[in-house]
């Protein structure tokens, strides 16, 4: 066969040429519309053209739902479609914000809403503080030279891969009246405790489970920041006889600040939006001791027989506004600190 090919003066086609042929055909087909777009919009407008599909998707799934949500908050009624609803203006917001004493939910027109606000505020303060501190400590430990370091990093990151519902169910099985934790305590002679039926314990476990589920993600962000710090700085500090705590406060923490800020912002946003794990774990109980804002929105808009979509939308708009304000304040504080350090 090779003799016949040489006799014809040709060579057998190589694998690379066979693969390159359809590739060239596809690129030739794409070249015509891309050349037209480049001539139409110019080199400077090509960026906007490539961003257009992403912006379209972002508009469909983010901007348009936000606009619809805002429109719902200005209307009343139980109908889903706007043709069956009536305009009420800011009445939904007035209903939510009418209170004699904002520190006492029972004095508010929507006491369930303000109870959920109080629960969310307490959860955010405690959960974010604990999560940031534990994530930082975990990242510092995992950044050291140790045996099976990759294995331990995987162990701490594994809960992040689990569904929030699965996380809630696992811990509910552990903490229920006849669960694993009570079985262990009974074997050691302790009394059975209703972990999820007591107000203080229910909030404690809601915070604990949330920290356990998200610890690995934030520790990974901080670990990446620690590994980006030049080792020369630590070697110089060691040669100067600088102690570990002083090295941490003077070198590690300042250089880790950008990553730490990202962790705080992401943890804050996630904590305000807490729903999945807590709802599966406690269902908002006992009573309303672990009912958070997102659960209030869900139950008001969807779970009740008389769905009040307007009130639920107004509550979600208020929650979103608070999130944007808190994020803006944190970024402003970070920019001021960066300018002071630069000066």
Distance CA 264, CA 82 (A): 39
Distance CA 195, CA 287 (A): 14
Per-residue DSSP letter, 239: H
pLDDT at 244 over 60: yes
Buried-state track 87-97, b at ≥16 Cβ within 10 A, e below 16:
ebeebbbebbb
The torsion angles phi and psi of 87, rounded to 5 degrees, stand at -75, 130
The pLDDT of 250-269, averaged and rounded, is 90
Q: What is the pLDDT of residues 7-22, one digit of tens each?
A: 444 555 566 666 677 7
pLDDT at 195 over 90: yes
| 99 DSSP β-pair partners | 108
3-state helix, strand, coil in the chain (%, to 5): 75, 0, 25
Q: Find tokens 């000066």 and name the residue.
A: 343
Q: Which pLDDT does position 23 carry in this prediction?
A: 72
Look at 54-63, 278-287, 299-308 and tell me which has the smallest mean pLDDT. 299-308
Contacts of 96 (CB under 8 A, 6+ apart): 109, 110, 113, 311, 314, 315, 318
Q: Is 222 exposed, middle or buried (0-12, 13-18, 19+ CB in 10 A)?
A: buried
First to last CA, the chain: 78
Q: What is the pLDDT of residues 125-145, one digit of tens each?
A: 999 999 999 999 999 999 888
The pLDDT of 211-232, averaged and rounded, is 93
Crossing angle for the helix pair 15-41 and 46-58, to the nearest 10 degrees: 90
The pLDDT of 169-189, averaged and rounded, is 92
Q: Which pLDDT does position 6 carry in this prediction?
A: 47
Q: Which pLDDT does position 15 carry in this prediction?
A: 62
User: For residue 121, which of 312, 313, 323 has the smallest C-alpha distance?
Assistant: 323
Of the chain, the percentage scoring pLDDT greater than 90 comes to: 54
The torsion angles phi and psi of 75, rounded to 5 degrees, stand at -125, 165
């Amino acid at each position: 066969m090779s003799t016949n090919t040489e006799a014809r003066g040709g060579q057998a086609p190589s694998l690379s040429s066979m693969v390159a042929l359809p590739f060239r055909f596809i690129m030739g087909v794409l070249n015509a519309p891309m050349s037209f777009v480049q001539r139409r919009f110019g080199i400077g407008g090509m960026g906007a053209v490539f961003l257009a599909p992403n912006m379209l998707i972002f508009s469909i799934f983010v901007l348009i739902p936000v606009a619809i949500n805002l429109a719902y908050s200005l209307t009343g009624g139980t109908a889903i479609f706007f043709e069956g609803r009536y305009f009420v203006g800011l009445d939904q917001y007035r209903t939510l914000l009418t209170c004699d004493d904002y520190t006492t939910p029972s004095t508010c027109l929507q006491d369930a809403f303000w109870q959920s606000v109080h629960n969310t505020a307490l959860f955010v303060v405690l959960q974010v503080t604990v999560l940031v501190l534990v994530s930082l400590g975990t990242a510092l430990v995992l950044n050291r030279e140790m045996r099976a370091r990759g294995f331990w990093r995987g162990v701490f990151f594994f809960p992040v891969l689990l569904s929030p519902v699965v996380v809630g169910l696992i811990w509910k099985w552990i903490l229920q009246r006849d669960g694993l934790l009570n079985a262990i305590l009974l074997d050691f002679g302790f009394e059975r405790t209703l972990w999820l039926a007591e107000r203080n314990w229910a909030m404690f476990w809601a915070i604990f489970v949330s920290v356990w589920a998200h610890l690995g993600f934030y520790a990974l962000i901080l670990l990446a920041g620690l590994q980006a710090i030049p080792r020369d700085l630590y070697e110089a500090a060691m040669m100067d006889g600088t102690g570990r705590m002083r090295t941490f406060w003077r070198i590690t923490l300042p250089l880790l600040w950008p990553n730490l800020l990202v962790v705080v912002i992401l943890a804050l946003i996630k904590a305000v939006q807490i729903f999945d794990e807590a709802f599966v774990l406690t269902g908002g109980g006992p009573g309303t001791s672990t009912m958070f804002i997102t659960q209030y929105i869900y139950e008001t808009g969807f779970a009740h027989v008389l769905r009040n979509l307007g009130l639920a939308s107004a509550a979600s708009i208020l929650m979103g506004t608070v999130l944007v304000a808190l994020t803006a304040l944190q970024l402003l504080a970070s920019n001021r600190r960066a300018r002071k350090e630069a000066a």
